[in-house]
Amino acid sequence: MTVERGGRDVFAANTNGSTPTVSTVGGRVKVWIDQDLCTGDAMCVEHAPEVFTILEDGIAYCCEDGKIFNDPGGASELATVPIQAEERVVHAAAECPGECIFVEIDPIS
């Protein structure tokens, strides 16, 4: 299992605060955000609105199957990325201006 800083892996969000419901069955990519570094520009949401959201505090959080991981600042807030969003989440992390999207990829066993 590896953990990489933003810029090398995936993530996504919603600017409207809605809670997307997307199946994560089979997903092996997980993601979290360090909210202390987030600029709130919502680029991640543009890439993967089913994985990222912007809340009332103006910063980004991860979502999984309708749950928003809104406890800031910890790798314990890992959200599983739907398979269809994995590539977009990687691109979001690569372009995140705060370099605060962290992706964890389970090795294929």
User: Which parts of this chain interact with ligand SF4 (CB under 6 A)?
Assistant: 33, 38-44, 60, 96-98, 100-101
| Min CB(107)–ligand SF4 separation in Å | 25
| Min CB(17)–ligand SF4 separation in Å | 13
* Residues facing 20 on adjacent strands: none
* Residues facing 69 on adjacent strands: 62
| Minimum CB distance to ligand SF4 smaller for 25 or for 104 | 104
Return the SS3 of 101.
strand
Helices (H), 10-104: 43-47, 86-95
| Minimum CB distance to ligand SF4 smaller for 46 or for 65 | 46
Return the SS3 of 85.
helix
| Min CB(40)–ligand SF4 separation in Å | 5
| Min CB(109)–ligand SF4 separation in Å | 30
| Minimum CB distance to ligand SF4 smaller for 101 or for 108 | 101
Return the SS3 of 90.
helix
Helices (H), 1-109: 43-47, 86-95
| Minimum CB distance to ligand SF4 smaller for 101 or for 105 | 101
The pair phi, psi for residue 66, each rounded to 5°, is: 90, -5
